[in-house]
Amino acid sequence: MAILKKIYPFLFIPLLTSCEEVFTPDMPHTPVLCINSLITAGEAVEAKISKSRLYTDSPDKSEVKDASVRIYANGELQPDLYIPNESDHIKIVAESPTAGRAESDVTVPKAIPAPEIDWETSDTYYQEDENGAYVYLCFKLNVRLTIKDPKNENYYKLSYTTTPDNEIETDGYEIHVFSIGDLKYDMEPIFSEHIGIFESIMGGDSYGFTFFTDRQFNGKSYTLHLVFDNCRFNYRKDAIPECKAHFTINSISPSYYNWANYLWQRDRGTLVELGDYGFGDPIWGYSNVSSGAGVVAAQSQSTCTIDLTDFIKGSIVQ
């Protein structure tokens, strides 16, 4: 958004002279019930029920204490604890004497087969401390993750973690670090497919956005090119752990993708700002709940792992 900051003063020079005035709009507002739920295959279904509130009200006005919730799976009412399977059609119905009724349904997507993975490292930098007790490695990691897309319209989300945990651990004066660094989101164009020309020009980028669709490879294989910069390893030389990176491809429901896309538009796009100044139409929160409030989403996961232990050990000068 760096460019945006430069362009706005140019485009909106009149706004430099604008002012804002607090007011109370004379508009009716009737609270509606809100359902939020992320359903994951193999995990118990949970839903958070709240209600909408006037924007100027405090958040506690959204609390709902008198709602009843029913969960249907494939048309059948389920007990309180229900663990969904892939392809289950889940419907959540909430009713409140004070906030009305809301419902939403979603189909739990099928997980794709475990992705094929291929990787390589480059630009390795090695250093030891003055005592030779600690080693420090810095490198780039290129991962090629190939997914086989089933036919029909599918939506995905990529996530990744490392083990041992990539958090810094403090043990006296010792610091243990293993991190695969920063994913170069721009280097994988599929993460930018939701960004239109207007948004691109205004500086919108895909940083942090790992949602994508199969529109460009429907029913085929697609290889994600993941470039991780600044991967770091910092451990005692005599205690090298098993270092692994885990990549998860979540098959997600359209509602999950739309919600993520909406969030990008809201927080990173320009439409909201244009709307705020009357130069565009404002956007509302995406919802697949009958009341217009809340998101019911679903996902299934496929995970694959790469083991970097040998690479790290091989990079250490004995």
Partner 1 sequence: MKRILSLLIAISYCISIATAQNVTIRAINRPAATVFRSIMEQTGKNFVYSSELLEDITVTVRAENRPLKQVLSEMFSGTSIEYKIKGNNIVLKRKKKADRPKKGSSTATPVPDTKTYSTTVKPTMLEEVVVVSRLGGPQVETTEIGAKKITADEVRNTPVLFGESDVIKALQTQPGVAEGTEGFGSMYVHGGNSDENLYMLDNIPLYQVNHFAGLFSAFNTDIIRYIDFFKSSIPAKYDGRLSSFMDARMQNGNREGHHGSARLGLISGAFNISGPIGERTTYLVGLRRSWFDVLTIPFIAIANSQNEDEKLRFNYYFMDLNARVQHQFSTKATAFVSFYFGDDNMKTGTEDNGYDKPDHFGSFFDDRFDMHWGNMLAQAGLNYRLKDNLSSEFTAAYTRFFSGMKQDEINREKSSDQIDKSRIVLKTDNNINDWIFRGDFDWRPDDNNRVRFGAGYTRHSFLPARTSRLYEAGTTNLTTRDSTWAYGANEVNAYMEDDWKISGKIRMNAGMHASMFNISSKTRYGWSPRLSLSYRPDEDWAIKLAYARTTQYVHQLNQSYLALPTDQWIPINGKFKPETADKISLGGYWQTPDRTYSISAEGYYKWMNNLLDYRDEYYLRPPLDLWNAQLCSGKGSAKGIDIKLEKLFGKVTGHISYSLAWADRTFADKNGGRTFPAKFENRHKINVIVNWTINDKVQLNASWTGHSGNRFTLFNQVWDDPEFGSSDWFGAGESPLRTDINSYQLPFYHRLDLSCTVKNKRGYWTFGLYNAYCHMNTVAVKRGTRDIVVSKPDEYYVTSEPVFKRVKLLPVIPSISYTWLF
CB of 26 to partner 1, least distance (A): 9
Complex with partner 1: residue 241 or 292, whichever CB lies closer: 292
Complex with partner 1: residue 24 or 131, whichever CB lies closer: 24
- For residue 216, the SS3 value is coil
Complex with partner 1: residue 73 or 274, whichever CB lies closer: 274
Cα distance between residue 37 and residue 48, in whole Å: 6
CB of 8 to partner 1, least distance (A): 11
Complex with partner 1: residue 110 or 266, whichever CB lies closer: 266
CB of 27 to partner 1, least distance (A): 5
Complex with partner 1: residue 70 or 225, whichever CB lies closer: 225
CB of 261 to partner 1, least distance (A): 5
CB of 171 to partner 1, least distance (A): 26
Query: Closest by alpha carbon to 260, among 308, 212, 303, 198?
Result: 212
Query: Cβ-count burial of 52 within 10 angstroms (0-12 exposed, 13-18 middle, 19+ buried)?
Result: buried
Query: Cβ-count burial of 8 within 10 angstroms (0-12 exposed, 13-18 middle, 19+ buried)?
Result: middle
Enumerate the β-bridge partners of residue 36: 48
Enumerate the β-bridge partners of residue 226: 143
Complex with partner 1: residue 246 or 313, whichever CB lies closer: 246
Provide the pairing of β-strand 33-40 with 296-307.
Answer: parallel
CB of 116 to partner 1, least distance (A): 21
DSSP codes of every residue in 99-146: TEEEEEEEEPPPPPPPPEEEEEEEEEEEEE-TTS-EEEEEEEEEEEEE
CB of 147 to partner 1, least distance (A): 18
Complex with partner 1: residue 7 or 316, whichever CB lies closer: 7
Query: Closest by alpha carbon to 193, among 174, 170, 210?
Result: 210
Cα distance between residue 94 and residue 4, in whole Å: 42
Complex with partner 1: residue 120 or 307, whichever CB lies closer: 120
Q: How far is CA 310 from CA 2, 144, 232, 237, 260, in A?
A: 41, 19, 15, 14, 37
Q: How far is CA 176 from CA 49, 222, 239, in A?
A: 41, 35, 10
CB of 220 to partner 1, least distance (A): 15
Q: Per-residue b/e over 92-104, b at no fewer than 16 CB within 10 Å?
A: bbbbbeebbebbb
Identity (one letter) of the amino acid at 48?
K
